[in-house]
Structure 1
Amino acid sequence: MREEALLQIIKALQAGRVPQLGVEDFPCFGAQATQGNPHIAPQTAQDIAQGLTAADIPTFERALAAMREGELAWLGFKVVYDGAAAQANTDNNVTKKYGELGSATAQGGVFFCSDAKEIVASWEYSPRDTFQMKDVTRGPSMHTEQFEGLTWCSVPLFGSVRVWLLGASDVASEVAALADHVGFQVTVVDDDAAYLNEERFPLAERILVGDFSELDGIDAAPTDYVCVLTRGHMHDPEGCLWATRHNAHYVGMMGCAGKNNTVYELCVQNGMTDAQWESVKRPIGLKFGAKTPAELAIAIVAELVDVRYRERYSEEARNKHEASLGR
């Protein structure tokens, strides 16, 4: 999502024109996100745009402010494909009761929702609408398709975390696909084009270096995550040194204890402190017996998700969330 896209939408509505909701800024309507979904397609974005009016300007203005402030917030869309069914009450004995009314209206629309559960929308919404607007901020969820006649989608108004995969190994290939799927921005670095190619990393940014000493010419941000996954572990020391020099928020390295001791010695010889070494998660990933590249990727990406969760939410918020799940 770009600020410029929101500004253009606001200007169009102020001028009484139908705005453009491009899938590059609203990927929830893109071909990849809607594949196999019978109710949302790329055309749905413009169908919703046709119904927007000047009354929706405050929703987009609030989204713009949230983006500028770096809030955890989302711009969401209510998509109606059967108005009568959308307004019907279809609660059952399992679901929480939201009153006799389903959705308050038979029309779709746009809304803003923050992690603090602030909602801004021009249209009337029911208790069940409120529940689903809050829920869709997780992205596609089990409640998005809960009720007949309507569905929901959203786009985050905050930036994604960049994950660096140092090495184009088989594990890195699996990690790249999973990390992209759960919302990370993935960059892969390797020194061999035979491994670092579009076929193995179709969704990631790819940086081909002559050798791993060229990492020093690449910048990373302190907010980035780094996974050291070089082929055969041959360039793990260069990867660890580069990540710690850039003070990456998270650094993880795959490998066994014996290999890690060798990497430690090489890193210390090249200026790494013991404190920096201890900050490297070894071995990378959550512990649950993963062995194959695909299994290891699940363990690694699960850990990245957990690190991101703890970074974004306070301990109090996390405890409240875990309690709500009964954990």
Structure 2
Amino acid sequence: MKRETLEAVVADLRAGRVPALTPEDVRAFSEAATAGDSHIGPETLTAIAATLTEADIPTFERALRALDEEDLAWLGFKVVYDPAAAVSNVDNEVTKKYGKEGSADDEPLVFFCNDAKEIVASRPLSPRDVFQAKDVTRGPSMHNDQFDGLTWVSEPLFGKVRVWLLGASDAAVEVAALADHVGFHVIAVDYDEAFLNAERFPTAERILLHGGTFDELANMPARPDDYVCVLTRGHMFDPEGCIWALQNGVHYVGMMGCAGKNATVHDLVLAAGVAEADWERVKRPIGLKFGAKTPAELAIAIVAELVDVRYRERYSETARERHEKSLGRA
């Protein structure tokens, strides 16, 4: 969510105006995100915005501070579609017990929650509400439809990790779709429009190079927190992709290919002046190992690895241990 959106909400509430929130501001309420769900849609956000008052200002101010501190945090939304059920529906025989109280009330709510599970809201939450508020802000949603009468959605207050797909191969097509689905910002790069086009990469940012090579890649800066997947067609430009990623010092770089081909790429990369220690940063072959062979299967392996890298980057060791223990994997 953008800073100017949060600042505008605070200004409107201080002036006694109804804030103007749109699905462009809160993508969790967009038509794409809510398709097929009869309980929630773009109009739901407008209805929730109309319920906000001056008492909600601290929630949005805390969200602004999270942006300043680059905190791993979310703005969450409690959506009530059946008030009676939301309040009366309590624990079942399967879920963890939170008492005989359902939701604290039958009204919608906007709240702030961060990875430290600090919650800021204009009204008290019941124990079950707290459970749901924390659950929906894991990254960004888990069991948000667990209880009847209400649902929960959230919008991250932090940016997406950028994933560069160097090469518009068939595997890259599958990676682009899946990486976008799990919340990455995908940038696909190639020199041939027959492979790099809107039909093959409908959700990705596309960069079309010129000259039939990847030479222009050298003029494009990457950020230290970017991820790079070297997936060039026929592996023809894998050395250039690895050199560019390593020279830009990206957080993660992985390359597809067999050991023999990768040894050749190794020699070409080092011949270009890259140090052996930097070459060792290249994950090869890219992706988790579980027998994937087809482009779609390889995409699952690759994106699963990207998710794991992001998880380890964003969450402290203590937080990861706590999460693994909660799942019985510690």
Following superposition of structure 1 onto structure 2, how do residues 130-145 of structure 1 map, counting pairs within 5 Å? 130-139=130-139, 141-145=141-145
Output the CA distance in 2 between the equivalents of 1:147 and 1:61: 30
The answer for the alignment partner of 1:21 in structure 2 is 21
Amino acid at match of 1:4: E
Following superposition of structure 1 onto structure 2, how do residues 138-153 of structure 1 map, counting pairs within 5 Å? 138-139=138-139, 141-153=141-153
Cα-to-partner distance string for 1:69-121 (whole Å, 9 max, x where unaligned) = 10011000000001010001331111111111100101001000011010000
Output the CA distance in 2 between the equivalents of 1:293 and 1:4: 41
The answer for the alignment partner of 2:250 in structure 1 is 248
Output the CA distance in 2 between the equivalents of 1:98 and 1:90: 8
The answer for the alignment partner of 1:208 in structure 2 is 208
Output the CA distance in 1 between the equivalents of 2:11 and 2:98: 37
The answer for the alignment partner of 2:102 in structure 1 is 102
The answer for the alignment partner of 2:320 in structure 1 is 318
Alpha-carbon offset, residue 142 of structure 1: 4.5
Cα 1:140–1:313 change in 2 (3 A) is closer
Alpha-carbon offset, residue 51 of structure 1: 0.4
Following superposition of structure 1 onto structure 2, how do residues 1-327 of structure 1 map, counting pairs within 5 Å? 1-139=1-139, 141-210=141-210, 211-327=213-329
Alpha-carbon offset, residue 32 of structure 1: 1.1
Preserved contact between residue 139 and residue 155 of structure 1 (Cα < 8 Å): no
Alpha-carbon offset, residue 125 of structure 1: 1.2
Alpha-carbon offset, residue 323 of structure 1: 1.0
Preserved contact between residue 139 and residue 153 of structure 1 (Cα < 8 Å): no
Alpha-carbon offset, residue 264 of structure 1: 1.0
SS in 2 for 1:160: coil
Preserved contact between residue 144 and residue 153 of structure 1 (Cα < 8 Å): yes
Alpha-carbon offset, residue 139 of structure 1: 4.5
Question: Which region of structure 1 is more displaced relative to structure 2, 238-247 or 91-100?
Answer: 91-100
Preserved contact between residue 141 and residue 153 of structure 2 (Cα < 8 Å): no
Normalising by structure 2, we get a TM-score of 0.97
SS in 1 for 2:267: helix
Alpha-carbon offset, residue 138 of structure 1: 2.2
Aligned-residue CA RMSD (Å): 0.9
Alpha-carbon offset, residue 124 of structure 1: 2.4
Output the CA distance in 2 between the equivalents of 1:89 and 1:5: 34
Amino acid at match of 2:242: C
Amino acid at match of 2:131: F
Output the CA distance in 2 between the equivalents of 1:145 and 1:266: 52
Alpha-carbon offset, residue 184 of structure 1: 0.7
SS in 2 for 1:251: strand
SS in 1 for 2:66: helix
Output the CA distance in 2 between the equivalents of 1:36 and 1:140: 19
SS in 2 for 1:138: coil
Preserved contact between residue 27 and residue 33 of structure 2 (Cα < 8 Å): yes
Output the CA distance in 1 between the equivalents of 2:120 and 2:92: 29
Cα 1:86–1:139 change in 2 (3 A) is farther
> Unpaired runs of 5+ in structure 1?
none
Amino acid at match of 2:310: R
Output the CA distance in 2 between the equivalents of 1:88 and 1:70: 38
Preserved contact between residue 253 and residue 282 of structure 2 (Cα < 8 Å): yes
> Unpaired runs of 5+ in structure 2?
none
Output the CA distance in 1 between the equivalents of 2:239 and 2:320: 35
Cα-to-partner distance string for 1:257-282 (whole Å, 9 max, x where unaligned) = 11111111111111111111111000
Alpha-carbon offset, residue 291 of structure 1: 0.3
Preserved contact between residue 112 and residue 119 of structure 2 (Cα < 8 Å): yes
Preserved contact between residue 287 and residue 299 of structure 1 (Cα < 8 Å): yes
